[in-house]
Amino acid sequence: MNKKGLLVVSFGTSHHDTREKNIVPLETLLAEAFPDRTCYRAYTSRMILDILKKRDGLTLPTVPMAMEQLIQEGITDLLVQPTHIMNGLENEQMKEDIMLWKNQLDSLAFGAPLLTSTRDQEDLIQAVMEEFPPLKETEALMFMGHGSSHYANTVYAALDYAFKHQGHPHVYVGTVEAYPDLDTVMEDLKREHIRRVTLAPLMLVAGDHARNDLAGDGPDSWKSILESHGFETSCVLKGLGEYPGIRKLYIRHAKEALPL
């Protein structure tokens, strides 16, 4: 008889409050959606795992550690659901790590990251826009994604286009480390005569990037740079894991996962 497991894989965060608001509830809801599976967790960011261990004495498993544990506990049917935003470097490495144990499993299935299909973009847009009031003519909403050197980074520009195609002309998507960057988005803001910008993270958690790169008081934050260009700003430090519609999207992905 197969013993079933569910492994929820996250990049992770060093901030306890946003972990409790975003990652933990998502893990709980996924576990509840699969009551016949024993739930495990893993983080992919070695930097975050090191911070948690050194600062807090908290040891959370890497993907290999979690795989060793669940194999030892007799799991033979494994469903893996990442909380990653896209099919980028972290997700590819996670899959490579898990595939090393494939021969010890009777069944292995991977759920898709958040933004994988066109439908996912549509569902994300609906989920987040339900949480914001309508924008006035001179107002904009700008989401900050992380960005990546991976080719999957094109999902951010595609999402920006999708917002506008679905009737949200003044919603923008930028990234910290790739394209579209803040300068690119600011060109659009100026062209559209925007005066007030609401900033929000397009990340699972509202961690370091949201608190420092997005909303920080330093001169290099998006908030400070926008204000130096004459825009009024406000910040909503809410991770995607806090949106009910986003949680449902991850659960849908887990339920749609097919064994390899």
Residues forming the active site: 146
CB of 7 within 8 A of CB of 43?
Answer: no
Other beta carbons within 10 Å of 251: 18
Query: Nearest-CA neighbor of 5 among 35, 30, 37, 32?
Result: 37
Q: Which residue has tokens 């999957």?
A: 152
CB of 144 within 8 A of CB of 187?
Answer: no
Residue type, 76: T
4 exposure class (CB count in 10 Å sphere: 0-12, 13-18, 19+):
middle
